[in-house]
A and B are shown apart, each in its own frame.
Chain A
Amino acid sequence: MTAREAGLVACTRCGRAWPLGTADCGRCGAKLVSRDAHSLQRVWALWIVGMMCYFPANMYPMLLSRQLFSVDESTIIGGAVDLAHHGAYGIAAIILIASVVIPLGKFWAIAFLAVSVRQHRGFASHRRLLMYEVVEYIGRWSMIDIFVVAILSALVQLKGLATITPGPAAFFFALSVIFTMLSAQAFDPRMIWDAQPNDNEASDNG
């Protein structure tokens, strides 16, 4: 039985139940909404901003490295390709996965969840929830690229020999990660379960 069916509204922050229509949680002060109707609008708005930041993040250089007389500007994908040419396939794969596969996968997964909640189509709630949890968990880890750039550009400052400075892509990439995280947080997972009331009865007994 869900709180809404029982005429209650739940606080998603502390788990306390209140009569439907209560505005704020008396225990932790959170705003109470039975189902966040504007949730999807916010999800899409933040999703679009994240996507818009992701394009410049891939077009501008991420790192500017100067070694003796040469200046090397590398984008995310360009840097990974360079590494692969030097034989470092493992690191190239890590970089490609962390900065290309995971962000694109996140965009796809959030869009899929937001669309599927509307359409009431047959895709098990448990699998969609798993997807949501993976997106929420993995989202933060994309920041690793920004931290690597920060460490490299602070560390590699050997005057005359080699210096590394961050490129504009770092800024856009960080924004893209932040907006995608916010987009995933705006999603109300309770909507996943509303779409398929029959599916949960089976799992309750099992």
Chain B
Amino acid sequence: MSSMSEAVDLSHSPLEELIVCPVCDATYQLERPKNGERAVCTRCHKVLIAPRRKAGMQIIAVAVAVVVLITAASVFPFLQISAAGRSNSVSIIDAALSFTEGPLLVLALMTAGFILFVPLLRMLLTVYVLVPVVLDRPPARHAIPAFRLSEALRPWSMAEIFALGCAVALVKVADLATVSFGPAFWMFGVLVVLVIVQDSFMCKWSVWNSLEHPKRQ
């Protein structure tokens, strides 16, 4: 971990060589950390830059895997319940669309959005933005608004919360009926881990910087 040095005399340094902490507004002379190291704000300890070697390629690979998993996991049965000879199996789409009456329909659409469409859209945007960057090409058309949208959607991507919700739901029905997992349940488990891994690889500053200066990357 390396700490940024405070910019003392800002009048002489070009603005391009400054970085400002988004949380506490502290301004630093830009020093790019080596791959694997992190630049941290000395005042509020926010991680400002955290580059990794080949992070772009890894993020793309994970994003493609996540897209495949989300698509598959939403179609295959997810959980199966059986009691006294009756059984019912549901997919994630069924779970998301279970609120179908009156105002609850809005809730159904929101739920489907949070657990399927927002994560899916984020991954597609990530691939769209990063592929030209990794291949040393000029940025894709509208790459900047695309990455902005992807970052804005980050808190609304709730796949991992849904996974924990499953665990709670399982405990609740356990004494009522027998519950068994479908293939989609395991896909979703893997997906949650991949989403978390990808988040830790992503260095926002590096992406913005390479969108601004495509050749230097």
A interface residue numbers (CB < 8 A to B): 1-4, 6-8, 10-19, 27-30, 88, 91, 94-95, 125-126, 129, 136, 139-141, 143-148, 150-162, 166, 168, 170-171, 174, 178, 181, 185, 189-190, 192-193, 200, 203-204
- Given the interface pairs A1-B10, A204-B43, the reply to whether A147 lies near B115 with Cβ below 8 Å is yes
- Given the interface pairs A6-B27, A162-B83, A203-B43, the reply to whether A170 lies near B208 with Cβ below 8 Å is no
**Among the listed A136, A147, A155, A178, which residue makes an inter-chain contact with B88, where contact means beta carbons less than 8 Å apart?**
A155
Residue of A17, A29, A155, A156 most packed against chain B (CB within 10 A): A155
Closest Cβ–Cβ distance, residue A25 to chain B (whole Å) = 9
Residue of A with least CB distance to B26: A2
Residue of B18, B24, B162 most packed against chain A (CB within 10 A): B24
Q: How far, in whole Å, are A153 and B172 apart by their CA atoms in the complex?
A: 12
- Given the interface pairs A10-B20, A14-B204, A162-B177, the reply to whether A185 lies near B155 with Cβ below 8 Å is yes
**Chain A CB within 8 A of B171 CB:** yes
**Chain A CB within 8 A of B84 CB:** yes
How many of B's residues come within 8 Å of A, CB to CB?
A: 68
**Chain A CB within 8 A of B151 CB:** yes
Q: How far, in whole Å, are A7 and B7 apart by their CA atoms in the complex?
A: 13
- What residues of B have a CB within 8 angstroms of the CB of A10 in the complex? 20-22, 25, 27
Residue of B with least CB distance to A139: B155
**Chain A CB within 8 A of B198 CB:** no
Q: How far, in whole Å, are A15 and B203 apart by their CA atoms in the complex?
A: 12
- Given the interface pairs A3-B20, A13-B148, A94-B168, the reply to whether A146 lies near B107 with Cβ below 8 Å is yes
- Given the interface pairs A15-B205, A15-B208, A161-B86, the reply to whether A8 lies near B43 with Cβ below 8 Å is no
Q: How far, in whole Å, are A170 and B10 apart by their CA atoms in the complex?
A: 53
> Does B83 lie within 8 Å of A151, measured CB to CB?
no
Closest Cβ–Cβ distance, residue A100 to chain B (whole Å) = 15
**Chain A CB within 8 A of B48 CB:** yes
Residue of A with least CB distance to B168: A148
Q: How far, in whole Å, are A147 and B169 apart by their CA atoms in the complex?
A: 9
Told that A12-B22, A139-B155 touch, could you supply 7 new A-B pairs with CB distance under 8 A?
Answer: A17-B20, A91-B168, A129-B44, A140-B158, A143-B161, A147-B162, A156-B177
